[in-house]
Structure 1
Amino acid sequence: MTAVSLTPLTVTRWWLIRHAPVHNPDNVICGSSDREADTGNRAAAAALAASLPAEALWLTSPLRRSRQTAQALWTRNPRLADTAVVEPALAEQDFGDWEGISHDTAAMRDAEAAARFWRDPARHAPPGGESFAAVMERTAAALRRLTDSHAGRDLVAVIHAGTIRGALALALDLTPEAALRLRIDPWSLTRIDHHHTGTGSWSVGGVNQQAGTF
């Protein structure tokens, strides 16, 4: 019998973290708005930092709340300290003309645009902004590109609820409507892996995991 040589399976591991809560006392829309994060929850930061791999490529979005959260994690666990790569394609959804105002104010300014958006919030874009379906597309393209470029590595991405939903939609073949149902809390950890075999496949190890459950 001829021995068969098996090539070890290459797995790329994604550690997807939603940033710390945003300072938003007026409860306005702040998808692409560059607001600061409240990183004062030391227990959550410490628990999350302790769960992350030491040898990883770090990514953030261009938004301040993403970068501040990454810095807080490095502070809680210096072994993680690294220079993060800023990836524009992993930014939060852009709500265009609605950035910085409430949904009630948006409806008062343009009732027709608000009604059109809420009839199909997954696929309709706010005025001057982008739809969640578009966010899914750019997130999927970025994950495929980065997975191919860094095959076999751990990638820690400190990003946003919208882009984490987009990553899960890629892994689970979800529609935009289904992906919007996913709850992604601040300081939470979501794990997905890409298995480089055949045409490639994804698996999900955990969604919206909280401190104490990592």
Structure 2
Amino acid sequence: MSVGYAVTRWWWVRHAPLSLPAGTIAGRLDADVDLSDTGMIEGARSWLPDNAVWLTTPLGRSIRSAAALRPGQPTVSVADLTEQDFGAWQGRTHAEIWDSEREVAERFWQDPAGNAPPGGESFATLSDRVGMAVRRETATYQGRDIVMVGHAGPIRAALALCLGLPPAGVLSVAVDHWHLFRMDHLALGDGDGQWRLIGANIPPCRGRLR
């Protein structure tokens, strides 16, 4: 007797580079993006499946990057997949913060997953909301391809969910602009199912990737 299961395929693509000085913490700032690298965009576009559900966040860099990848593609905005709120540190560089708030910065870096920036949220808190959102969207679009054009923090949080790691276990993972993370969810019966990592931080290239 064969047992069937539904596979939901997630295609996480980080948005385009931001038009901000190097080292600036963007967080939830609605910063503009640099869409000039057409080779990267075309390479990333060539991976993505037809007939997928496309998700973005409310931030413009997610929306504009999705539009560059697939012009005219309808998208669904998911607020719970928005980037981490860095509070008072948004719009400032790491060097500025270190020079002006060294003690606060040192305390933060003692536990960068569990501690929150002043007026912001911790990565652990972000991971909780992203985990709930990923489970919800997976159930909503079970058996479909889901393209999510998003942010580094939530992509790391989704990776932690996929691999069963604590939030601190993924903070060192590189998430580069226009790069792809592929994760599958296998639903079987009434349980939570299983996750499978297909690829992480894959650079744009021409040709289909399954």
Class of the TM-score when normalised by the shorter of the 2 chains: over 0.9
Aligned to 2:132: 141
**Residue type of the partner of 2:156?**
R
Equivalences for residues 57-206 of structure 1 within 5 A: 57-75=53-71, 81-198=72-189, 199=191, 200-206=193-199
After TM superposition, the score normalised by the length of structure 2 is 0.93
Measure the CA separation in 2 of the matches of 1:104 and 1:51: 37
Measure the CA separation in 2 of the matches of 1:111 and 1:39: 35
Aligned to 2:205: 212
- Give the direction of change, closer, same or farther, for the CA distance of 1:26–1:169 in structure 2 (3 Å limit): closer
Aligned to 2:5: 9
Aligned to 1:37: 33
Aligned length: 205
**Residue type of the partner of 2:20?**
N
Q: Which moved more, 1:204-213 or 1:102-111?
A: 102-111
Measure the CA separation in 1 of the matches of 2:120 and 2:40: 32
**Residue type of the partner of 1:70?**
A
Measure the CA separation in 2 of the matches of 1:89 and 1:23: 24
State percent identity of aligned pairs: 43
Measure the CA separation in 2 of the matches of 1:110 and 1:72: 38
Measure the CA separation in 1 of the matches of 2:120 and 2:69: 31
Measure the CA separation in 1 of the matches of 2:177 and 2:22: 18
**RMSD (Å), alpha carbons:** 1.4
* Structure 1 position 56 matched with structure 2 position 52: yes
**Residue type of the partner of 2:128?**
E
Give the gaps of 5 or more residues in structure 1: 76-80
